[in-house]
Amino acid sequence: MEDQNRRYLAEGVPLVSVLSNRFKNSQGSQAKTAQSSSWHTDHTNQVLPPNYTSLYPVELPDRGGGTSLCNTRAAYEALPEDLKRKITGMKTVNLLAGSATKNRNPDTLEDQKNYKAPSPIHPLVRTHPVNGSKAVWFHPNKTENIVGMSPEESQEFLRDLTYTHLVKPEFTYVHQWKLGDMLIWDNRSALHKAGFDYDPNQHRMLYRTLVRGDKPF
Ligand SMILES: [Fe+2]
Distance from the CA of 46 to the center of ligand 1, in angstroms? 13
Distance from the CA of 30 to the center of ligand 1, in angstroms? 17
pTM value is 0.91
Distance from the CA of 150 to the center of ligand 1, in angstroms? 25
Task: Tell me what pLDDT residue 1 has.
Answer: 46
Task: Tell me what pLDDT residue 6 has.
Answer: 59
For residue 71, the cross-strand partners are 190
Distance from the CA of 78 to the center of ligand 1, in angstroms? 24
Distance from the CA of 122 to the center of ligand 1, in angstroms? 17
Distance from the CA of 108 to the center of ligand 1, in angstroms? 15
Task: Tell me what pLDDT residue 34 has.
Answer: 44
Task: Tell me what pLDDT residue 24 has.
Answer: 76
Distance from the CA of 4 to the center of ligand 1, in angstroms? 12
Do the Cβ atoms of 215 and 25 come closer than 8 Å?
no
Could you tell me the residue ranges of all domains in the chain? 6-211
Phi, psi of 151 (to 5 degrees): -55, -40
- Write down the architecture of domain 6-211 according to CATH: 4-Layer Sandwich (3.60)
Burial status of residue 104 (CB atoms within 10 A of its CB: 0-12, 13-18, 19 or more): exposed
Distance from the CA of 12 to the center of ligand 1, in angstroms? 22
* Among the listed residues 73, 211, 94, the one whose alpha carbon sits nearest the alpha carbon of residue 151: 94
Spell out the per-residue pLDDT of the chain, length 217, in tens. 444 555 678 788 888 999 999 887 777 776 655 457 899 999 999 999 999 999 999 999 999 999 999 999 999 999 999 999 999 999 999 998 898 987 667 777 777 778 888 899 999 999 999 999 999 999 999 999 999 999 999 999 999 999 999 999 999 999 999 999 999 999 999 999 999 999 999 999 999 999 999 999 9
Distance from the CA of 34 to the center of ligand 1, in angstroms? 9
